[in-house]
Structure 1
Amino acid sequence: MMDEEELEYAEDLEAILHLTPEVQLAIEQVFPSQDPLDRADFNAVEYINTLFPTEQSLANIDDVVNKIRLKIRCLDDNIRTVVRGQTNVGQDGRQALEEAQVAIGQLFGKIKDIKDKAEKSEQMVKEITRDIKQLDHAKRHLTTSITTLNHLHMLAGGVDSLEAMTRKRQYGEVANLLQGVVNVLEHFHKYMGIPQIRQLSERVKVAQSELGTQILADFEEAFPAQGSKVAWLDKIDRRYAWIKRQLVDYEEKYGRMFPEEWCMTERIAVEFCHITRTELAKVMRTRAKEIEVKLLLFAIQRTTNFEGLLAKRFSGCTLTDVKKPETPLESTNPFLEDDVGEDGSEMEEDLDRPKKHKAPDNPFHGIISKCFEPHLYVYIESQDKNLGEMIDRFVSDFRAQGPPKAGTEDGGAVLPSCADLFVYYKKCMVQCSQLSTGEPMIAFTTIFQKYLREYAWKILSGNLPKTSSNSGGLTIKSLLQEKEGSEAAKFTVEELCLICSILSTAEYCLATTQQLEDKLKEKVDKTLCDLQQYPVACSGPGRCL
């Protein structure tokens, strides 16, 4: 009966102690053991067979049973000890909890006491250091005020020095001072609401702006001045000598590298001409007050010679604005010849000699010299002055030498000064046409008219004899009017000789001036010729003379 109960108890215990594989694995990892009894898949039959593998081993069965029973008793004792020990755990835990609560209460009381003492100590320290704190704030404010005043003094003095050095152009000292002033000014950003500080800041900004503008102007004045000095008109022939050397060197080194139809040498020369014209125009605009007549004519002569050299060397096929010269018509203008006569008779022969105008066949004409045209007013003003001096010299010579004497070959002939005037006119017209046939030629037309009128009044009309009937003096118009009886003026032989000479000179001037008009129309550009009129000649003796 007991065996059955024990068997049932064992089965129930086995069912209760059946553990999952995960739990069993965890137990084996925590409590590793080599005992077969601790294995989860323990088999009693296999264990007994292991203990008694043969029949002879059954002789020791009593010893084996005793060992197993001893082991069982040891396990039972251990289990009882553990179970009995667990009965006092709850009581011990409650006692430990109560002790912990008491300790926490004591600790809280001590912390409260420490806090109260700390507050009392803090209050005591505040009372002790109250005056020290006030003194510390006063010291800090005083230090800040002194530093700010020192910076303000440095800023005010620096701004004054900066403005003075800027005016004196002491750029070396300004470089160091300006950085220091800017650094000091950074300390006053929070004080910009104060008018005086804001005014100093604005003065610094103005000084910086003026300094930058002044330095830039000094650089522009220093460096371009040296460049313009080297590139001035008196050294213009150096430009042309340089490009000649460069073109020769280019043809020797690289001439065969490009096809001839590309005309690379001519293209380089044309590009040089364009750059030279632009740069000369800039230099002359900058130094317009330094241009003199001789210097201007020298530069124009060298330039036209260079343009003629280009025309001999190149065909001008790379120029896009080349126009074929038109075949000129035959002209009878008296101002065509190059050589100027010295007396009136030679000039009269030239007036009757027909000349053919040679059309310019230089495609490079004006490619550089065009830049001189805006400055030809210097040449025009010089000729205006020369003509004025010439008229004054004619007047003084006429007064010194007197009129042509009666009974001589010169009696009643054209005055020599008239021929000299037209010779000079021709020289001016030819020279101006070589320089420009545009607006400068129109300006010369006005000058010619001006001094023809002065010649008519000062030399011709001004030297006519006076009569008692006409207190205002004679005029050519009054001489040409027929008078009879007492109204007819009576003149001496010398006066008649003078009148004849003046009338001959006036007639010569009228005829020559009309031819001058025709020549001017041929010289001036056609676009301007259609828009302008040339009232050089007088419409009659009554108007001009």
Structure 2
Amino acid sequence: IETEKSRPSPFANLIGRCFEPYLNIYIESLDRNLADLMDKFVSDSKTQPPGAKEFDGIEGPSSVLSSCADLFVFYKKCMLQCTQLSTGLIMLSLTETFQKYLREYAIKILQNNLPKVGGNASIGTSMSNITRDFRDLSTSGFIQNFQSFLKEGEIARYSKEEQSRICCILTTAEYCLETTQQLEGKLREKTDKCYSEKIVLSQEQDNFHKVISHCIQLLVQDLETACESALTTMTKVQWSSVEVVGDQSNYVNTIIAHLRQTIPTIRDRLSSCRKYFTQFCLKFASSFIAKLVQQLFKCKPLNAVGAEQLLLDVHMLKTALLDLPSTGYQVPRKAPVTYTKVVVKGMANAEMILKIVMSSIESATDFVKQCRMHLPDLQSSEFQKILDMKGLKKTEQVQFLEQFKQLENATKSHVVHDSPEHEAGRIKRLEKLVKKRV
């Protein structure tokens, strides 16, 4: 009796199968409806750009675009209708149609609405905001350098509304990514087994991943642009003439002010997707530290006091970067461990460069060994820059560079001798020697 109950009825889908050869008409109608819906989304986005509705000067989480929810609700209705007619081959056609408009949504609604780099970005770094952010910073020498600081502040950046738009698109892309994964599962579940394995939406998921990555990159570039002129200012200081170590330099104040102005907005807008805010912090810190090190090499020549002042500045920047994820919080929160490791490692490298510059030279050999010991990844070109920072003339550098290359070659040779390939070669030679003797 149980077997008879579990056996499918011979009348199941009997009527539906009669219409299967003509279901392409349904798919064509669906395609036209989705095309009209997409046109409406595009028109709406031109009238009111993403993020504009929620931008009112008050910080808060970015909402997902309503068009995104409308699209997936429409998809759900279509899938229910289609499965009532057939769960066979037509489901593959339905999937292809869904894929088509997921791609269009990613490009036309998300990607195309991102602010253009170098476009009509407003001067977001208003002097009123920057001045406000200086309240808690050291003001030593600020008045004397105010005119030069004004020039630094005039940087084309995204406005807060444009930042809000980027964050809104990012959160929408994340929603699309997660919902597309669920859609793939539902389509497979509703489709006959012989066809379900052919339903793959990985390409569409990749498209949303790319939008998210692009959004993060735009936010990183924007903050980098804000800090760039301050780093350039650092290289223009006459570090060989510094006579006393004071408070942190004004370029450090400028960078910290930009961080305080930007980070809280982005963090609040991305509060619904914290992992992407962490990615933003990681990418910015990595990029900023790399640029800082390159700019440090341009600070030449340095006297001991100048190097000490730079070391203080680097330490203050390190502190600011470590606190970056919680910038603006009244109660500081601990940064993610992965982020902290990146900052500590990168800034330790910058600090070590300055400590080496500050150290005295007993002999070329000892100095080179010291550099290799404390900076094992140091390249020959970077070593030469350190010599420039110390103020050594080109003729004086020859001996140091030769010593560096000799030690570098010796290290490479040691690595080769210890490699598995080298060891295997030695074993083969020994085997041949044994055979000859036998």
Normalised-by-shorter TM-score class: 0.3 to 0.5
Higher relative contact order (CA 8 A, sep 6+): 2
Looking at CA atoms only, which structure, 1 or 2, has the larger radius of gyration? 1
Normalised by the size of structure 1, how large is the TM-score? 0.30
